[in-house]
Amino acid sequence: MKMVATKKMQGRGFGGGRLRKRDLIGWGLMLPSLLLFLFFVWWPLGSNIGLSFFSSVGFSANKFVGFANYATVFQDPIFLKALLNTLKYVGWSLLIGFVIPIFLGLLLSEVVHFKGFFRTVLYFPSMISGIAVVIMWSFLLDPNAGAPLNAIITALGGAPFRFLDDPNWVIPLIVITMTWRGAGGTMLVYLSALQTIDNSLYEEARIEGASFFQRIHYVTIPHIAPTIRSLLVLQIISVLQIFYEPLVMTSGGGPDGASESLMLLAYQYAFVKTGKASLSSATSVILSALTILLTIVYLTFVSKQKKKAPQDV
Amino acid sequence: MFEKTRTYFLNIKKDFSKQQHEKKAEQKLETFSGKKDGILAWSDYRHPGAWVAYTIGIGILIIFVFLALAPIFWLFVSSFKSTSELYEIPYNFWPQSFSLTKIIEVWQYLDFGKYFLNSIVVAVGSVMAAVFFNGLLAYAVSVVKPRGYKVVYALVMLSFMIPTVANLVPLFKEISDFGLINSYLPLCLAAGANAFYFLLFKTYFDSLPQDLFEAARVDGAGDLRIFFSIIVPLSRPIIGVVSIFAMTAAWSDFLLPYLVLQDDGMQTIMVKIYSIQSTIATSTEFGPDRLLMLLCLSIIPQIIFFAFFQKQITATSTTSGIKE
């Protein structure tokens, strides 16, 4: 203690501007990692924003054009489609994928038999790589009459379904695939939140004669509400960046752009429709702005949550 | 005449069945005696309605287990089919034969071991970079706290919001300017600049007792000494956690490897599978049945990995409450 105190005083005594030994060591330790962050995150982020205001030759900036790239992008019908679709992805994922993990978490926290088995198996799809999952599902969702899901539908007396070839169904079906893979992981987070609930609250509720649904309503839901809010925002953020699902499942946003997303479009502007690198930058800047907006919302929720219950998070 | 005896026996019988019934109910309750927490505690299971609800709950979980496993089971079974069997009408769930030669044939045709090896190289490199760089940074921010560490923390958290691949064009240009196309270096090092791993380390270091560091400092240990003699030995659990995450992420990673590894012989499994999938419509030699077999081969390491570490993996997600 004493030594720390004197060190601190020394630091101040030498005029404050002088570096302490600890500062030197600290920055020395941080430097290699900071260089990596600079290379992989900060520099690309900065130059991406820069490039979005320039015309491009290949992948390099050429002439300053102001907001012209943004104007071009907003006039491109495929961009508007991608923007709308990205919001559709988010909407469908909230509709399909949001409640299932909460429900499973609740069930699992109440179950006594085979709890470990259920937890492991339900988490299992989250372990498989995304690319493998979406290729597997494109096989299952094959529009051929002889493909597995259509075989089930025809066996039940239905007509073969077009699945991913149907522009109205392609987004919900991709969202089902994402939910299949992601629900288990989210379920575990809810499970951890449910386990932190103080049991005396339930006891009190029981003594007061609260029914099962009253207990959920007055004890469970209020307690996991911060987790629900946080995961809601996290889910929105991750779905906003949806990319390889449409790339693989609908060979790049088909049918006729019905599953095109912003991130996919940013990739296509850069690497498929060559010579549009600036448009790609503008698109990902718009996407990042959307994401940051939502992350700020998320972080305010998390800090509120910390104030309320410092033991979890 | 026997009226009395009869009622006597009947009463005994009634009592006995009643006792049996109660015993059964108690036995049933006993299964829940350990359940002292949660929305329904064991005492609630005296109520028969709770039993019905519980059974329905288990039933629903079984349905979800089926939904989780059926597609994977289908994949493994169907990968042994031939292409014509795949699209056969009427549909047959089982293939005509489970011939192991198909596995060997597909493996050899592609020289798949090469891609496996590439994936392993990237995964191991990523784990090393993820642990070393993020751990070091988290130690500096959490324990050493040099002047200005808050700015660093804020900047790192900023990158939490923006995934590496969001700034595709400049990142790709940078990597090619540095001559790192067809190199595993950028793929591994990218794991070293990961806000999620950083946060896992930082949360862990923050939870270590601060007195420990104070005591060590009183004893005259410097920050480097503290790092090697206190932090590193104490950090085994969190190093394990980050390694598991980094390993799975690297195995599954797609976009950056796809852009960087342009030379076919350098590609990782996932990149190779994607390039096969995207050309399968025009390919004459590599049919969908072989692609299915490839998918199986590519996820088997993940399944084995999961089987080994499932406790650690599910426990981390449960206790940390942080989601990737």
Express each pLDDT in B246-269 by its tens digit.
988 898 888 899 999 998 889 999
Cβ contact, residue pair A43, B170, below 8 Å: yes
Q: In this model, does residue B231 exceed pLDDT 80?
A: yes
| Chain B touched by A72 (CB under 8 Å) | no
* Torsional class of B321: left (φ above 0), alpha (ψ -120 to 50), beta (otherwise): left
ipTM over 0.95: no
Q: In this model, does residue B56 exceed pLDDT 70?
A: yes
Residues contacting residue B106 through CB under 8 Å, at least 6 positions apart: B112, B290, B293, B294, B297
Domain residue extents for chain B: 102-320
Which A-chain residues 167-226 have CB contacts (< 8 A) with chain B?
A: 180, 184-186, 188-189, 191-195, 197, 199, 202-203, 206, 212, 215-216, 219-220
**Mean pLDDT computed over B233-244:** 86
User: Which of A9-13, A199-203, B104-108, B239-243 shows the lowest per-residue confidence on average (mean pLDDT)?
Assistant: A9-13
Are A94 and A236 a contacting pair, CB within 8 Å? yes
Q: Which residue has better confidence, A276 or B5? A: A276
SS3 state of residue A61? strand
> B18 phi and psi, to 5 degrees?
-65, -45
Under CATH, what is the fold of the domain B102-320? MetI-like fold (1.10.3720)
Q: Which residue has better confidence, B139 or B39? A: B139
Q: Which residue has better confidence, A47 or B315? A: A47
Cβ contact, residue pair B255, A243, below 8 Å: yes
Q: Which CATH superfamily, name and number, covers A74-132+168-308? A: MetI-like (1.10.3720.10)
Q: Which residue has better confidence, B37 or B321? A: B37
Are A240 and A262 a contacting pair, CB within 8 Å? yes
Q: What is the reported pTM? A: 0.83
Q: Which helix H or strand E contains A298, and what residues bound it?
A: helix A277-308
Amino acid B319: pLDDT:
52
What is the distance between the alpha carbons of residues A248 and A133, in angstroms, rounded to a whole number?
Answer: 10
Distance, CA of B238 to chain centre: 16
The closest of A100, A295, A111 to A184, measured between CA atoms, is A100
What is the distance between the alpha carbons of residues B291 and B294, in angstroms, rounded to a whole number?
Answer: 5
Q: Which residue of B has its CA nearest to A41?
A: B164
Tell me whether the omega of the peptide bond preceding residue B170 falls within 30 degrees of 0, making it cis. Answer: no
Token pair listed for B246: 């980094």
Interchain CB contacts (distance < 8 Å): A and B: 313
Q: Which residue of A has its CA nearest to B170?
A: A44
CB nearest to B314's CB, from A60, A188, A281: A188
A199 vs A214, A216, B219, CA distance in Å? 15, 13, 43
Amino acid B317: pLDDT:
59
B189 contact residues in A (CB cutoff 8 A): 36, 39-40
Q: Which helix H or strand E contains A62, and what residues bound it?
A: strand A60-64
Are A205 and B44 a contacting pair, CB within 8 Å? no
Cβ contact, residue pair A20, B147, below 8 Å: yes
B173 contact residues in A (CB cutoff 8 A): 59-60
**Mean pLDDT computed over B80-89:** 79
Q: In this model, does residue B52 exceed pLDDT 60?
A: yes
Amino acid B236: pLDDT:
84
Domain residue extents for chain A: 17-41, 74-132+168-308
What is the distance between the alpha carbons of residues B238 and B243, in angstroms, rounded to a whole number?
Answer: 8
> A168 phi and psi, to 5 degrees?
-80, -25
Amino acid A288: pLDDT:
87
Q: Which residue has better confidence, B119 or A110? A: B119
A107 contact residues in B (CB cutoff 8 A): 57, 60-61
Cβ contact, residue pair B171, A44, below 8 Å: yes
Alpha-helical (H) ranges within chain B are 3-31, 48-78, 83-86, 100-110, 112-139, 149-161, 168-177, 185-190, 195-207, 210-218, 223-226, 232-234, 236-252, 255-260, 269-278, 288-320
Q: In this model, does residue B285 exceed pLDDT 80?
A: no
Each residue's pLDDT, cut to its tens digit, for chain A (313 residues) gives: 344 444 444 433 333 455 678 888 889 889 999 999 999 999 998 999 999 999 888 888 888 998 999 999 999 999 999 999 999 999 999 999 899 999 999 998 888 888 888 988 998 898 888 899 999 999 898 888 778 888 888 888 777 788 888 888 999 999 999 999 989 888 888 888 888 788 888 888 888 877 778 888 888 888 888 888 878 888 888 899 899 899 999 888 878 889 999 999 999 999 888 778 899 999 999 998 888 887 777 777 667 766 655 444 3
Amino acid A229: pLDDT:
82
Taking every pair of Cα atoms in chain A, the longest distance, rounded to a whole number of angstroms, is 86
- Choose the mutation target among A54, A108, A117, A128 for the interface with B, i.e. most B CBs under 10 Å: A128
